[in-house]
Amino acid sequence: MGMHILFVADALEDFKVYKDTTFSMMREAQRRGHRVAACEPRHLQWVSGGVVRADVRELVLTGNEDAWFRETREAAQALKDFDSVVMRKDPPFDSEYFYATHLLEQAEREGARVFNRPASLRDHPEKLAVMEFPQFTTPTLVTRDAGAVKQFHAEHKDIILKPLDGMGGTGIFRVGPDGLNLGSITETLNHEGATTIMVQRFVPEITQGDKRVLVIGGKPVPFSLARIPQGSEIRGNLAAGGKGVAQPLTARDREIAEALGPVLAARGLLLVGLDVIGDCLTEINVTSPTCFQEITQQAGFDVPAMFIEALEAAMAQPVAG
């Protein structure tokens, strides 16, 4: 029996379909006989005494890369009337994203099935979430205090500093043993003590890539996408010019994914993207993990199929009380 799936995402007109993960999910859903619809978070509405609704676009995917979808109808619909709602809005995790999770959580109370679970999206800030699993991370400090950063640098010598809300590698700095510019970089990132930042001991294996390990329904995808920095760049992020190379999971990648997978899946996180550099977990991405198409094309493993199968399986389970 086909499902009616609502994707809450960015504007469809902005999708780069040759690499977009949400598009690959939609395509696989339609291939399996499910109906696909979409809206943006700005289209969510909740009138007191009523249910959470959205101005929704019903879609048929055309298979044509330029005009990739046809809109069959647009109408206000209650989220609870869909079989499942897939939240795929990209960061930033700003106030608007935060409010969207509250509206989605209300829709859940009304009977909607939302993935990833809205409360868990709020509870797992993508950089802070690694702190729960120190056995897998490089030494890490979260602070506003410039003195604490200086002390951390004195102990670890070669460090990375980054904002907690960055995406695609923005705002990442490395400071080596000479401590050059540590003070000004700290001030820039923490806005002179007003903003919390993350500081980590540098992991030299970044030269082999920042690996994206996907975990779907608690189980690891058997291939990662290693995003390899180019030239003198320290950031592997594809958005920062990194080169994506699919490769089988290492024993350590698998160990991390198998340890975290069931824990995160039990919290309603159907899809998680772990970032691993060398043997160290550096981020847990829960908002809109990507790399489906790159892994599928390079490794031949059908990631979108694994995701839609996991969504189907989740829908077959009774709602957790």
pLDDT tens, 120-158?
Answer: 999 999 889 999 999 999 999 999 999 999 999 999 999
The active-site residue out of 53, 57, 201, 235 is: 235
Q: Judge: domain 139-202, CATH 3.50.50.60.
A: no
Task: Give the model's confidence band at 290: pLDDT under 50 very low, under 70 low, under 90 confident, else very high.
Answer: very high
Q: pLDDT over 90 for what percent of the chain?
A: 87
Which residues on adjacent β-strands are paired with residue 201?
Answer: 159
Does residue 150 have an active-site annotation? Answer: no
Q: Is 22 exposed, middle or buried (0-12, 13-18, 19+ CB in 10 A)?
A: buried
Domain with CATH 3.30.1490.20 in the chain: 139-202
Q: What is the mean pLDDT of residues 273-281?
A: 97
Q: Maximum distance among all alpha carbons in the chain?
A: 63
Phi-psi region of 145 (alpha: psi -120 to 50; beta: other; left: phi over 0): beta
Check residue 155 and report its DSSP letter: H
**Per residue in 11-67, pLDDT tens?**
999 999 999 999 999 999 999 999 999 999 999 999 999 999 999 999 999 999 889
The active-site residue out of 105, 126, 253, 283 is: 283
Does residue 227 have an active-site annotation? Answer: yes
Tell me the pairing of strands 84-87 and 114-115.
parallel
The active-site residue out of 227, 237, 253, 294 is: 227
Does residue 283 have an active-site annotation? Answer: yes
Task: Give the model's confidence band at 268: pLDDT under 50 very low, under 70 low, under 90 confident, else very high.
Answer: very high
Q: How far is CA 9 from the centre of its chain?
A: 12
The active-site residue out of 57, 117, 127, 211 is: 127
The active-site residue out of 117, 162, 201, 211 is: 162
Q: Rounded to 5 degrees, what angle do the CA atoms 147, 145, 156 make?
A: 55
How far is residue 77's CA from residue 262's CA, in Å, rounded to a whole number? 33
pLDDT at residue number 261: 98
> What's the pTM value of the predicted model, to 2 decimals?
0.93
- Per-residue pLDDT at 238 exceeds 70: no
- Per-residue pLDDT at 173 exceeds 80: yes
- Per-residue pLDDT at 230 exceeds 60: yes
What fold does the segment set 4-116 form as a domain?
Answer: Rossmann fold (3.40.50)
**Per residue in 91-129, pLDDT tens?**
888 899 999 999 999 999 999 999 999 999 999 998 899
Tell me the pairing of strands 35-39 and 4-8.
parallel
Task: Give the model's confidence band at 184: pLDDT under 50 very low, under 70 low, under 90 confident, else very high.
Answer: very high
pLDDT at residue number 236: 64
Domain with CATH 3.30.470.20 in the chain: 205-316
- Per-residue pLDDT at 90 exceeds 90: yes
Does residue 113 have an active-site annotation? Answer: no
The active-site residue out of 58, 105, 275, 294 is: 275
Arithmetic mean of pLDDT over the chain: 94
Does residue 127 have an active-site annotation? Answer: yes
Alpha helices in 21-145 (DSSP H): 21-31, 95-109, 118-123
Q: What is the mean pLDDT of residues 58-79?
A: 96
Domain spanning 205-316 has what CATH number?
A: 3.30.470.20
Q: Where are the beta strands (DSSP E) in the chain?
A: 4-8, 35-39, 44-46, 52-61, 69-78, 84-87, 114-115, 140-143, 159-163, 173-175, 197-201, 210-216, 219-220, 223-228, 243-248, 271-277, 280-285
Cβ(63)–Cβ(32) below 8 Å: no
The active-site residue out of 212, 237, 253, 294 is: 212
Does residue 174 have an active-site annotation? Answer: no
Q: How far is CA 173 from the centre of its chain?
A: 21
The active-site residue out of 116, 190, 237, 285 is: 285
